[in-house]
Amino acid sequence: DQQVKQNSPSLSVQEGRISILNCDYTNSMFDYFLWYKKYPAEGPTFLISISSIKDKNEDGRFTVFLNKSAKHLSLHIVPSQPGDSAVYFCAASALGTGANNLFFGTGTRLTVIP
Amino acid sequence: DSGVTQTPKHLITATGQRVTLRCSPRSGDLSVYWYQQSLDQGLQFLIQYYNGEERAKGNILERFSAQQFPDLHSELNLSSLELGDSALYFCASSVNPGETQYFGPGTRLLVL
């Protein structure tokens, strides 16, 4: 049972425009959410996280939005750059229940077109 | 550089063989996780250790086993290897379970 879902396997965006990557989850106990970026043949790199007590967290060009009622989070990249082309994974954890692990989505491949 | 190291970087072996993958977590991290990624698929969680003890199991085959040593490094043992075991194997670490995980560069295993 996939508790974290990324329904778009791929996304193409023009350089300079906004990239919006989406993620849905089913477990209402999730209270900590993360985005990772992965280049081919490399390990995932932590990008940004958000706690369920917030609905937005920003770090430079990256902003994560959390909509708890809809069980939905999104990652906005503005402006998009060719170097942002990678696979993006969202992940979630239930820290408040003493969770052991992160649950990962299946990833969205972002291609930024120069 | 995440601070997590994995060796070897590449491994080529034959079916039926056994291999050991090694992971050193970031300094101060007590929790170690192992993941498998096959053919550009998602990250499949295999197993987690916390301070030397197994904490959670995912989709880990019985032919696979792992352990975490007193110095907190971890090893993943893969035995009776099959062609389908060819994949990227990632190790990650975190301070405590469930928190942000930092990934190593991975070991690429090719079973011929």
For the segment A69-107, what is each residue's pLDDT rounded down to a tens digit?
999 999 999 999 999 999 999 999 888 777 778 889 999
Contacts of A87 in chain B (CB under 8 A): 40
Residue contact A32–B98, C-beta within 8 A: yes
CATH of the domain at A46: 2.60.40.10
Residue A5: strand, helix, or coil: strand
pLDDT of residue A41: 79
Is residue A79 reached through a cis peptide bond, with omega within 30 degrees of 0 on the bond before it? yes
B104 interfaces chain A, CB cutoff of 8 Å: yes
Tokens (6 digits) for B97: 């379970």
Dihedral sign of CA atoms A65, A68, A69, A73 in order? positive
Residues in chain A: 114
- A101: nearest CB among B33, B41, B42: B33
pLDDT of residue B40: 63
B100 interfaces chain A, CB cutoff of 8 Å: yes
Q: Indicate the number of domains in chain A.
A: 1
Residue contact A105–B41, C-beta within 8 A: no
Which of B2, B41, B95, B103 has the most A C-beta neighbours within 10 Å, making it the best mutation to test the interface with A? B103
Question: End-to-end alpha-carbon separation of chain A, Å?
Answer: 38
Tokens (6 digits) for A5: 């879902």
A101 interfaces chain B, CB cutoff of 8 Å: yes
For the segment B55-112, what is each residue's pLDDT rounded down to a tens digit?
988 889 999 999 999 999 999 999 999 999 999 999 999 998 888 899 999 999 999 9
pLDDT band at B22 (very low <50, low <70, confident <90, very high): very high
Q: Give the other-Cβ count within 10 Å of A62's Cβ.
A: 17
| Residue tagged 């498998």 (tokens) | B36
Instruction: State which residues form the domain around A41.
Output: 4-113
